[in-house]
């Protein structure tokens, strides 16, 4: 359930992770990166803990950390900075609202700032996680108020933000009513007992049975 940049919006559109810095070829500063990772500001767990928490290798974590540090020297990313970085990937539209929802999904401890651990744990799920883990992350994105249910209003807010982000990049140009129509179809599939909200179990079952949704989840697997 992910949004594809600059293409026709897939029927199973959903969360699109910020594009990660590509891991670099290891060089002489690999030892320095490892040493620094072991005492990251705002990241007391260190390299071994991150290796256990994610599916990245030591070299990949070192490379990701160098990229993160270059963008965020303080070791923390606030929402405005995140929006600025993420918007660079979607210059044809307005990504600010979707970036707000995405920031909340990455901000697991809800403290209003992303540290390297928040970033890399979320990225590991999106790129290397199981289908169940990816769908759990996607559900959390759509569940704006984090009450364990997705309402039609929440789904519409997310969908509108995706269409805003895609801008004029979709062909043919989409009608203003497209997000609402998309949500109506999507919600009818998901709200299996007709109670007006979607639980994670309903979300999981529907997504796993929908080939369009599942195929749209594969596009980020080879980013790293």
- pLDDT > 60? residue 138: yes
Which helix (DSSP H) or strand (DSSP E) does residue 133 occupy?
A: helix 131-142
Residue 67, in any domain of the structure: yes
**DSSP state, residue 3:** P
Domain that holds residue 159: 30-216
**pLDDT score of 33:** 56
Residue 65, in any domain of the structure: yes
**pLDDT score of 25:** 41
Residue 1, in any domain of the structure: no
Residue 16, in any domain of the structure: no
Residue 143, in any domain of the structure: yes
Tokens of 165: 């982000």
CATH number, domain at 112?
1.10.238.10
Q: pLDDT tens digit string along 31-78? A: 555 555 544 554 445 888 999 999 999 999 999 999 999 988 999 999
Residue 76, in any domain of the structure: yes
Residue 15, in any domain of the structure: no
Q: pLDDT tens digit string along 79-96? A: 999 999 888 888 888 999
Residue among 32, 9, 6 nearest 216 (CA) = 9
Model pTM score:
0.73
**pLDDT score of 167:** 75
The number of distinct structural domains making up the chain is 1
Q: pLDDT tens digit string along 1-17? A: 444 333 333 333 444 44
């Amino acid at each position: 359930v992910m949004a594809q940049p600059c293409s026709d919006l897939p029927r199973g559109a959903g969360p699109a992770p910020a594009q990660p810095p590509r891991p670099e070829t290891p060089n002489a500063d690999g030892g320095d990166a490892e040493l620094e990772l072991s005492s990251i500001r705002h990241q007391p767990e260190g390299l071994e803990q991150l290796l256990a928490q994610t599916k990245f290798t030591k070299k990949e974590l070192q490379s990701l950390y160098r990229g993160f540090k270059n963008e965020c020297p303080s070791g923390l990313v606030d929402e405005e900075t995140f929006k600025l970085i993420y918007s660079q990937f979607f210059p044809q539209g307005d990504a600010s609202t979707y970036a707000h929802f995405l920031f909340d999904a990455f901000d697991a401890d809800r403290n209003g700032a992303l540290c390297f651990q928040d970033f890399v744990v979320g990225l590991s799920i999106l790129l290397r996680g199981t289908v169940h883990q990816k769908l759990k992350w996607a559900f959390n994105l759509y569940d704006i108020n984090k009450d364990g249910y997705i309402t039609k209003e929440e789904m519409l807010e997310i969908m509108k933000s995706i269409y805003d982000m895609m801008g004029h990049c979709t062909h043919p140009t989409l009608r203003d009513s497209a997000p609402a129509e998309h949500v109506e179809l999507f919600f009818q599939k998901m709200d299996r007992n007709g109670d007006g909200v979607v639980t994670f179990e309903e979300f999981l079952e529907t997504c796993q049975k929908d080939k369009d949704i599942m195929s749209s989840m594969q596009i980020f697997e080879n980013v790293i």
